[in-house]
């Protein structure tokens, strides 16, 4: 995965600065919080008492969101030293008791204490071969405790914006000639 390491090392800051401006982030957050995480949360909507491993954590955006759900311990892992450096800088500026580690998922040593939840947002598409994918899955499985909870997202081609009703996610796509304006609590993207 050397190519993804070099790719993200060179764009770490730009990636972090633009991460929340993507039109798909509202849909992504809705899916993760309201569909994927919901069965794992306690009666107060928290991850209290849970140990969480966030693979392919990048600059730690989801790592921080998961920590905000009050998990007892969280470790963010990414192959890119620059992304981890950025995540640690953010942690230093706003301490949340999050650990970060530079590692290739395929080489991640088994934890002495298993995790209750492993996340891998956009991790699996980086496997270049079937064998790499199987190795990633094996490592993920070995990190988990008895309940074996893994949550991952993969990028899929988006249908045309006018074919999706985005209102439940907090914004609406409005087609005007060739541009698409995102309307909602925050203007996310303006096209030309």
Is 74 or 37 the better-scoring residue by pLDDT?
A: 74
Q: What is the pLDDT of residues 65-91, one digit of tens each?
A: 999 999 999 999 999 999 999 999 999
| CA distance between the termini of the chain | 35
The confidence band for 181, taking pLDDT boundaries of 50, 70 and 90, is: very low
Q: In Å, how far are 47, 71, 98, 143, 155 from 68, measured between CA atoms?
A: 9, 8, 11, 22, 25
Burial class (CB in 10 A: 0-12, 13-18, 19+), 74: buried
**Model's pTM, two decimal places?**
0.71
CB 54 within 8 A of CB 76: yes
Rounded CA separation 87/164 (Å): 33
Rounded CA separation 71/62 (Å): 13
Instruction: Domains for the chain: give ranges and CATH numbers.
Output: 2-156 (3.40.50.150), 160-192 (no CATH)
Is 73 or 122 the better-scoring residue by pLDDT?
A: 73
Phi-psi bin for 50: left (phi > 0), alpha (psi -120 to 50), beta? beta
Rounded CA separation 66/186 (Å): 23
For residue 58, count other CB atoms closer than 10 A to its CB. Answer: 23
Q: What is the pLDDT of residues 151-172, one digit of tens each?
A: 887 765 555 555 556 566 565 5
Q: What is the mean pLDDT of the chain?
A: 77
Q: E strands of the chain, at which residues?
A: 51-55, 73-78, 99-102, 115-121, 144-153, 172-176, 179-183
CB 141 within 8 A of CB 129: no
Q: In Å, how far are 52, 55, 69, 100, 142 from 65, measured between CA atoms?
A: 12, 14, 7, 14, 24
Of 50, 41, 58, nearest to 123 (Cα)?
Answer: 58
């Amino acid at each position: 995965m050397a190519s993804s390491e070099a790719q993200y090392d060179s764009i770490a800051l730009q990636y972090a600065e633009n991460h929340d401006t993507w039109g798909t982030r509202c849909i992504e957050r809705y899916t993760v919080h309201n569909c994927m995480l919901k069965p794992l949360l306690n009666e107060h909507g928290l991850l209290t008492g849970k140990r969480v491993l966030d693979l392919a954590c990048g600059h730690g955006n989801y790592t921080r969101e998961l920590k905000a759900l009050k998990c007892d311990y969280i470790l963010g892992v990414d192959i890119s030293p620059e992304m981890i450096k950025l995540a640690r800088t953010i942690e230093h500026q706003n301490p949340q008791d999050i650990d970060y580690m530079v590692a290739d998922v395929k080489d991640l040593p088994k934890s002495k204490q298993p995790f209750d939840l492993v996340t891998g947002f956009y991790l699996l598409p980086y496997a270049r071969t079937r064998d790499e994918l199987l190795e990633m899955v094996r490592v993920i499985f070995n990190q988990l405790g008895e309940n074996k909870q893994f949550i991952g997202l993969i990028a899929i081609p988006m249908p045309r914006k006018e074919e999706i009703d985005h209102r439940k996610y907090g914004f609406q796509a409005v087609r005007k000639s060739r541009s698409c304006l995102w309307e909602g609590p925050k203007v996310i993207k303006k096209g030309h």
